[in-house]
């Protein structure tokens, strides 16, 4: 069985469908929790599945350095190593090498860098990134690309985009013939429509199983991001999944889906869960706040997650303030559950042709704010 995308319904620019893979189906629009180093922090894999996630993201940069891709391959691949049998998407390592690694040097060949863990020297290139992602056993492999931090002048963005397009061809060549796996190209071009168009044309000419919109959510702000999303998804093939990398907050996600994005990932729900922050239908709630100390009510009475079904705000406040591990576990679970409910709600609304009404209700709930204090 091979990798296939079926578009089932559209409503305006918003789309719903499913991606078939040998490891199971991915319902779109899909949110991918981030399992950086072979774990979604504070969650058992079966709990991640229980939130409704069809697919996880793993980070090539982290896994190649520790425990090492060859070791993961010897141990049977990332799925069995981390006990997650559903699909996994891995990034190329390119973005994190630029943000995390020590001394690094960018050439036409690739990026040489020093590990942030032990200072050891490594090369990431289109060819080594494809090999590492193959060793990990990733179902959806990302092209190795380069992304300049914004703001950058147009000449820099253009040079970088053109390098990424040459690397996209090298990634395609190195990926080889693996029909049960997918390789996604990554559109670059910053916030310049013409460059985004050139990038989309170059990628489409090479041909990929899916297309990502890269180089956003790097500090340009929501307005500029939506500005790009007003045209960028439409430049990519209609019949292939479109993935917006590293996004985002709930309202970013809703705005991206509205503009034709099918897949997203972000550390936000898991990371903020570990700092006492919850995302709910009524906006963001800080469980550290003293107003919750005597509150016997659930975080969200309509939420079906364990944190909301079995615990009070007072308990969540207590464990978060006391630094107990269960605080991060419960809030991560709640946040991932909330994100998956958000995606499920959008999938239903798009299928029924009622996305606009759904979106209005989403914004109305957030405008209401958290429940009145006791
Ligand atoms: Zn909940």
Give the residue ranges of the chain where pLDDT is below 50.
none
Using alpha carbons, list the distances in angstroms from residue 357 to 192, 258, 293, 364.
Answer: 32, 12, 36, 10
- pLDDT of 147: 84
What is the CA(301)–ligand 1 centre distance, in A? 8
Give the Cα separation of 304 and 264 in Å (integer). Answer: 23
User: Binding site residues for substrate, as ranges?
Assistant: 91-95, 145, 188, 215
What is the CA(337)–ligand 1 centre distance, in A? 7
Identify the burial level of 67 via C-beta atoms within 10 angstroms of its C-beta, where 0-12 means exposed, 13-18 middle and 19 or more buried. middle
Give just the sign of the alpha carbon dihedral 289, 293, 299, 305. positive
- pLDDT of 98: 84
Q: Is 91 a catalytic residue?
A: yes
- pLDDT of 152: 87
Catalytic residue among 54, 139, 252, 265: 265
- pLDDT of 80: 98
From its phi and psi, is residue 64 left (phi > 0), alpha (psi between -120 and 50) or beta? alpha
- pLDDT of 149: 73
Catalytic residue among 91, 139, 262, 300: 91
CB 122 within 8 A of CB 64: yes
What is the CA(269)–ligand 1 centre distance, in A? 12
Strand 111-114, strand 30-33: pairing: unpaired
User: Binding site residues, as ranges?
Assistant: 91-95, 145, 188, 215, 303, 305, 308, 334
What is the CA(344)–ligand 1 centre distance, in A? 15
- pLDDT of 339: 98
- pLDDT of 102: 76
CB 188 within 8 A of CB 147: yes
| Predicted confidence (pLDDT) per residue in 96-154, tens digit | 898 887 788 999 999 999 998 999 999 999 999 999 999 999 999 999 999 887 788 99
- pLDDT of 322: 98
Give the Cα separation of 67 and 204 in Å (integer). Answer: 35
* Nearby residues of 172 by Cβ (< 8 Å), 6 or more positions away: 143, 183, 185, 206, 207, 208
| Predicted confidence (pLDDT) per residue in 335-361, tens digit | 999 999 999 999 999 999 999 999 999
SS3 229: helix
User: What domains are there in the chain, each with its CATH number?
Assistant: 4-266 (3.20.20.105), 273-368 (no CATH)
Q: Is 265 a catalytic residue?
A: yes
End-to-end CA distance of the chain: 56
- pLDDT of 233: 98
- pLDDT of 220: 87
* pTM to 2 decimal places: 0.97
Q: Which residues face 5 on adjacent strands?
A: 19
CB 256 within 8 A of CB 232: no
| Predicted confidence (pLDDT) per residue in 298-315, tens digit | 999 999 999 999 999 999
Angle formed at CA 302 by CA 42 and CA 84, multiple of 5 degrees = 30
């Amino acid at each position: 069985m091979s990798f296939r995308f079926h578009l089932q319904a559209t409503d305006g620019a918003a789309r719903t469908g499913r991606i078939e893979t040998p490891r199971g189906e991915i319902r779109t629009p899909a949110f991918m929790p981030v399992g950086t180093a072979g774990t979604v922090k504070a969650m058992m894999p079966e709990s991640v599945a229980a939130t409704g996630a069809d697919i996880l993201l793993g980070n090539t940069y982290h896994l190649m350095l520790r425990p090492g891709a060859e070791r993961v391959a010897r141990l049977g691949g990332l799925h069995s190593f981390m006990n997650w049998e559903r699909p996994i998407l891995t990034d190329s390592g390119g973005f994190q090498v630029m943000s995390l690694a020590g001394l690094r040097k960018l050439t036409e060949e690739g990026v040489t860098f020093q590990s942030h863990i032990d200072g050891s020297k490594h090369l990431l290139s289109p060819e080594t990134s494809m090999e590492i992602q193959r060793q990990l056993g990733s179902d959806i492999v990302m092209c190795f690309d380069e992304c300049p931090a914004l703001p950058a002048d147009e000449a820099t963005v253009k040079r970088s985009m053109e390098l990424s397009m040459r690397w996209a061809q090298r990634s395609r060549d190195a990926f080889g013939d693996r029909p049960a796996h997918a390789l996604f190209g990554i559109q670059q071009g910053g916030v310049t429509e013409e460059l985004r168009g050139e990038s989309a044309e170059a990628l489409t000419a090479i041909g990929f199983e899916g297309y990502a919109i890269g180089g956003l959510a790097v500090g340009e702000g929501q307005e500029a991001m939506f500005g790009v999303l007003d045209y960028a998804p439409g430049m990519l093939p209609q019949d292939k999944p479109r993935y917006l990398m590293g996004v985002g907050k709930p309202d970013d996600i809703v705005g991206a889906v509205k503009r034709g994005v099918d897949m997203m990932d972000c550390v936000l729900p898991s990371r903020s869960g570990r700092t006492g922050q919850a995302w709910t239908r009524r906006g963001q709630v800080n469980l550290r706040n003293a107003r919750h100390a005597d509150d016997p009510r659930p975080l969200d009475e309509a939420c079906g997650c364990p944190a909301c079904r079995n615990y009070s705000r007072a308990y969540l406040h207590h464990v978060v303030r006391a630094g107990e591990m269960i605080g991060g576990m419960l809030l991560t679970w709640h946040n991932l559950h909330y994100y998956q409910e958000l995606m499920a709600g959008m999938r239903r609304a798009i299928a029924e042709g009622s996305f606009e009404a759904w979106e209005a209700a989403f914004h109305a709930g957030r405008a209401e704010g958290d429940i009145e204090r006791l």
